[in-house]
Amino acid sequence: SSSDEERGGAGDGEFVIESIVDSRGRGARAEYRVRWAGYSALHDTWESAASLQDTAALAQFRSSRRSRSRPPR
């Protein structure tokens, strides 16, 4: 699997994160909209920051947000 894919879920099913496409809230209430590999946007889910901690997908999403919010030089 590529570096932006993460395995998640519990029980019988195992899901792979394709990407994180949006966020809402701040701090402990932050949630991220997850696009699951092999599924359409209709199946996106909002996941807590805690459930995505230490995933490459979250690090990539945060990095892309920081680079877009920097003012031009």
Q: Looking at per-residue confidence, does 35 or 67 come out higher? A: 35
Q: Looking at per-residue confidence, does 59 or 6 come out higher? A: 59
CA 38, 30, 41 angle in degrees (round to 5)? 20
Q: Looking at per-residue confidence, does 63 or 28 come out higher? A: 63
Q: Is residue 3's pLDDT more than 70? A: no
Taking the whole predicted model, whether its pTM rises above 0.75 is answered as: no
What tokens appear for 25 in the block?
A: 């809230």
Q: Is residue 38 left, alpha or beta, with left meaning phi > 0 and alpha meaning psi from -120 to 50?
A: left
Q: What percent of the chain has pLDDT over 90?
A: 59
Cα separation of 49 and 58, whole Å?
A: 8
